[in-house]
Structure 1
Amino acid sequence: MITVIEQAVQARLVATAPKVEIVPVTLCYDRSDPFAVRMAFPAPATLEGIEVSWTFARELLEAGLDRPTGHGDVRVRPYGAGRTVVEFHAPEGVAIVLMASADLYHFLERAASIVPPGTEHLFLDMDHSLAELMRDSC
């Protein structure tokens, strides 16, 4: 049984106009963290020169395909026909990424095939999570 999916997509990293870089982005969904998705950017696309990953709610990505969503570090919204904007807000600044909505829909369909939306709570391992939290407190 598949428990982790990864999908490579092409994204446009919007920098200062008119420069727009195309970067490979890896989307990841892991059944062991059923509420979250991870988006990883390769080292050459980051200010630090190391791979950077952002983890945020799968529900945020789903909702953002249809309407502007998010108030914190990650915001998602539709952008014209067939594109979606994901904004990452950090103390260093804001990164704006454009992706084909079809790629995101495909990724979310694959994620739903291993954990259907609304059933995430059935895949949580509370004992393991609690043990992890308590491990460093002793």
Structure 2
Amino acid sequence: MYSPVEETVQARLILSPHRSARLRVVLSYLPEDPFAVRMAFPAEFSLDDAADGPDTEDIVWVFARRLLCSGLEAPAGVGDVHVRPTVGRRTMVELRAPEGTALLQFDTTDLRRFLWRSRLLVPEGEEHLHLDADRALAQLLG
């Protein structure tokens, strides 16, 4: 069993053209879920009113590792998650939910480092070798 890749980075939540807030984002990659990456945000940045309590857990978004890789080079994404490069070695991640849209700005170097570490664990194109079909089926069937 491999250890997960986890990296804490700083991002900027874009609130308006002239306002932003810094926040801590935990990026993680689990070899047992080899096609996905996770981004965890502090609950206080949620648009959901239920996330206001002191014991509320981080908000976690799960999406394709390939989407994050592609979005570093050119706009990518369909649906709830979009990733695109921008000027000055920055990458924008747009997360869409029924409650609203969050636009986050990351240092591209941080994202590249995280992806590099995930590829050391599971190289691109070898994800299928790390799938556990029995476990995935058990999770689907609950």
Give the TM-score normalised by structure 1: 0.93
Match of 2:27 in 1: 27
Match of 1:8 in 2: 8
Cα RMSD of the aligned pairs, angstroms, is: 1.2
**71 and 132 in structure 1: CA distance in 2 versus 1, 3 angstrom threshold:** closer
- State the distance in 1 between where 2:102 and 2:137 align: 34
Match of 1:111 in 2: 118
The C-alpha deviation readout for 1:21-69, integer Å capped at 9, x for no partner, is 0000000000010000000001222233342110000000000000000
Which of 64, 69, 81 aligns to 1:74? It is 81
- State the distance in 2 between where 1:81 and 1:75 align: 19
What amino acid sits opposite 1:94 in the alignment? T
Question: Identity rate of aligned residues, in percent?
Answer: 47
Which of 63, 66, 73 aligns to 1:56? It is 63
Superposed structure 1 runs of 4+ greater than 6 Å apart = none
- State the distance in 1 between where 2:80 and 2:140 align: 24
Match of 1:129 in 2: 136
What runs of 5+ residues in structure 1 fail to find an aligned partner?
none
- State the distance in 2 between where 1:11 and 1:53 align: 15
What amino acid sits opposite 2:72 in the alignment? L
Match of 2:44 in 1: 44
Aligned residues: 135
What amino acid sits opposite 1:103 in the alignment? D
Which of 98, 102, 117 aligns to 1:91? It is 98
- State the distance in 2 between where 1:129 and 1:93 align: 31
